[in-house]
Amino acid sequence: MSKLTPEESARLHPETLALSLGFDPFLSEGAVKPPVFLTSTFAFKKSEDGKKFFAWMRGEGGAPTGKHQAGLIYSRFNNPNLEIFEDRMAMWEGMRGALSFSSGMAAISTALLATHNPGDEMIVCAPLYGGTETFMRGFLTKFGIKSHFIHAGITAVEEAKKLLGPKTRSVFIETPANPNNKLTDLAAMREATAAHRTADGRSVLILVDNTVAGPVFCQPAKFGADVVIYSATKYIGGHSDVVGGVVLANDFALLKATAGLRNSLGGMPNPHTAWLLTRSLETLKIRAEAAAANAQKCAEFLVTHPKVRAVGFLGLLKPADPEYAIYRKQQTGPGSLISLFVKGGEAEAFRFLDALKVIKLAVSLGSTESLAQHPAAMTHSGLTPEAKQASGVSDDLVRISIGIENADDLIWDLRQALDQM
């Protein structure tokens, strides 16, 4: 994209820029695609350069993410593949900077530790990914960071207002909530917390895990999110062949703190992982839209089936539904995650899952292939019975991530599995 002026680049769409932003072919032998920079360390031309680069890496006069101000040092700090991927993620999200990680949990844990101190309190909209909740209830509690769990959805803002106090440092939201697809109004939460300060004068941060919607269908920063987090394993990677994570922010200090802790903990991805994620960004929009179209057809079939108690899918929301207004304001599409509540309990859910033939029985979501799993017994099994009940993670819930197969084939598979239930 070196031939484009900044003004010309600014008019292009993310799906166009995702194919070339941040990479000049003529700096890499004319290669149209970035090579994989499999090196642990980078040579300095002069000793003075090494001194300058390390000073910049410590945050002395450099960019918040440690990029493009001086030069490359060592692949634990920076690497061309990481930088290209991060540039394109920040562009997709419309945010100032991005940091890549070796997994979604590396991104979540580093972001939380970088932004919270012992004694801080969090307000957490549940349900959310089981690994995140386990980290909050377990590890963070040991370090004096307390989490108050509230219900994701239309009641979240009012519940959060009641819990705001002198120790409240953040509100953590998954949108949509995993695994029941509940929507929380991000703009209303931002408004409710905007004037609040901790006892030592810090503002309340809005942290949003946008994994389930992805940047194609929701961009939380537009609604007041300070930090946006992804498991890049899901829609961003999108092929079930790579594990990664991303943290994005607009604030210089937040980016710098998170980058510094990532450097210390060593949670960045390897160059090949970053290369795979960059490759996948090129098809993110067409994959996400194709999967969402399939999910709409599958959800419309499921909601009419006599063995189905309920279906949670954003594309089924009607104007009379309480969350419809949030959906229309906050998202440009429904995504492809379906919360299926069968009639019965764990035994019936297991029979349905075991009978699937096209849809794979596996955890994760956002891949090209369709996946189904039982949250209460699998991804959210680490929660206490009380936490499961409070979050609506019931034994009759099956989470289905719809892929890009033929929709008629998926509906056939869902029908025959339900018949065997």
- Same domain as 88, residue 225: yes
Tokens of 281: 């960004």
Beta bridge partners of 308: 342
Q: Which of 238, 264, 281 is the last residue of a domain?
A: 281
Q: How far apart are CA 380 and CA 238, in angstroms?
A: 22
Q: Are residues 110 and 125 in the same domain?
A: yes
Instruction: Tell which phi-psi region holds residue 59, choosing left (phi > 0), alpha (psi between -120 and 50) or beta.
Output: left
Given this model, what pLDDT does residue 255 score? 94
Sites in the chain below the pLDDT cut of 70: 1-2, 61-70
- 19 within domain boundaries: no
Cα atoms in the Cβ-side hemisphere of radius 13 Å centred on 275 = 11
What is the per-residue DSSP string for 363-375?
S--SSSS-EEE-T
pLDDT of amino acid 286? 97
d(CA 377, CA 389): 13
> How many C-beta neighbours within 10 Å does residue 3 have?
6
In a domain, 37, yes or no: no
Residue 246's CATH number: 3.40.640.10
Question: 347 and 373 share a domain?
Answer: yes
**Distances in whole angstroms, Cα of residue 104 to Cα of each of 84, 101, 235, 288, 300:** 19, 7, 12, 19, 31
Closest CA to 359 of 327, 326, 311, 407: 407
Q: How confident is the model at residue 66, as a pLDDT?
A: 45
**185 vs 321: CA distance, rounded Å:** 14
Residue written as token pair 């349905």: 352
- Within a domain: residue 300? yes
* 13 Cβ contact list (under 8 Å, min separation 6): none
In a 13 Å sphere around the CA of 39, the CA atoms on its Cβ side amount to 12
Where are the alpha helices (H) located in 341-396, listed in sequence order?
346-355, 385-391
Cβ contacts of residue 347 below 8 Å, gap of 6+? none
Is the Cβ–Cβ distance between 206 and 190 less than 8 Å? Answer: yes
pLDDT computed for residue 1 by the predictor: 46
Residue 343 is encoded by which pair of tokens?
Answer: 């009639």
- Same domain as 212, residue 178: yes
Query: Do 271 and 291 lie in a common domain?
Result: no
CB burial of 249-264 (b: ≥16 within 10 Å; e: otherwise) equals bbbeebbbbbbbbbbe
- DSSP state for residue 293 in the 8-state scheme: H
Same structural domain for residues 215 and 309?
no
What pLDDT is attached to residue 16?
Answer: 86
Q: Is residue 28 part of a domain?
A: no
In this structure, are 241 and 140 located in the same domain?
A: yes
pLDDT on residue 71? 81
Q: Are residues 134 and 271 in the same domain?
A: yes
Domain count, the chain: 2
What Å distances lie between residue 281 and 16, 101, 213, CA to CA? 10, 16, 15
pLDDT at 371: 98
Q: Are residues 294 and 372 in the same domain?
A: yes
Write down which residue in 281, 309, 333 finishes a domain. Answer: 281
Flag whether 23 is in a domain: no
- Does 49 reside within a domain? no
- Measured CA to CA, the distance from residue 194 to residue 160 in angstroms comes to 12
Determine the structural domain holding residue 140 and report its residue range.
80-281
pLDDT of residue 2: 58
Residue 293 shares a structural domain with residue 229: no
Nearest to 207 by CA among 285, 84, 114: 114
Name the token pair of 288.
């996400």
Q: Which residues contact 222 (CB under 8 A, 6 or more apart)?
A: 94
Alpha-carbon span 200 to 363, nearest angstrom: 42
Judge if 343 and 296 occupy the same domain: yes
C-alpha 258/C-alpha 105 separation (Å) is 14
Specify if 210 maps to a domain. Answer: yes
387 part of a folded domain = yes
CB atoms within 10 A of CB 145: 21
Which of 310, 291, 307, 311 minimizes the C-alpha distance to 299? 311
Same domain (yes/no): 264, 343: no
**What CATH number is given to the structural domain containing 310?**
3.90.1150.10
Angle, CA 180 vertex, CA 174 and CA 185 arms, to 5°: 45
Closest CA to 290 of 208, 410, 175: 410
Among 281, 296, 322, the domain boundary falls at 281
